[in-house]
A = this chain, B = another copy of it.
Amino acid sequence: MSFSPLIQQLIKALRCLPGVGPKSAQRMALHLLEHDREAALELAGALREAVEKVGECERCRTLSEDPLCAVCASKSRDPSLLCVLESPVDMLAIEQTGGFGGYYFVLKGHLSPIDGVGPEDLGIDRLLDRLDVGEVKEVILATNPTVEGEATAHYIAEQVREMGIRVSRIAHGVPVGGELEFIDGGTLAHALAGRRSLI
């Protein structure tokens, strides 16, 4: 004996959530059905509404239900700085530091020829069009420090440099609060090569 078909269907559907395996999906399904049916309906509604209405910001490509996201719609930011990111979560992470006042461009992925992801999928043409307008003075490449992220940053850097615009890459190094002993060799090498002189 196992659960009835509708419960099994729900358990299977819950597995689409990242980090949810068969045991957690089962626990979630039974919890909702036994104790919180109202919340389950609310979740169903929120899922449907978000999927139907959330599109992308037409300027920076982040997730947004309005044509322009909150950042792009703001007039009080510095239009000479443009930060290029892999995903909307990275954008939120940087916003939460409060240390960046420019605008963003979200690639939604990285170059990955094996998976068939090329420059056009990342909207790099739109990025270059935007740079063509001439407002942006510096492009900060904040893709992830992975092989693909580095390759993507390199590819964009080449083209931006040709347009005569300054390009920079976020610093790699020892995380604040980290202990040298536990940091991998690649990061340490970057931290040494990228050392800054103290006055």
Contacts and interface: CB of A to CB of B under 8 A. Distances in A.
Interface of A: 1-7, 9-10, 12-14, 16-19, 24, 26-34, 36-37, 39-51, 53-54, 63-66, 69-71, 87-89, 92, 95, 108
A95 B48 CA distance: 35
30 contacts: A1-B92, A1-B95, A4-B54, A4-B64, A6-B46, A6-B53, A7-B50, A7-B63, A9-B50, A10-B46, A10-B49, A13-B42, A13-B46, A16-B32, A16-B40, A16-B43, A17-B31, A19-B24, A19-B27, A19-B28, A30-B87, A33-B51, A33-B54, A34-B63, A34-B88, A40-B47, A41-B48, A43-B44, A44-B44, A44-B48
Greatest chain B CB density within 10 A among A24, A43, A50, A66 is at: A50
Contacts of A39: 13, 16
Contact of A43 (B47, B64, B69): B47
A83 to B, nearest CB: 13
The copy count of this chain in the complex is 2
Contact of A89 (B27, B71, B95): B27
Contacts of A29: 50
A149 B143 CA distance: 53
A29 B95 CA distance: 18
A26 B89 contact: yes
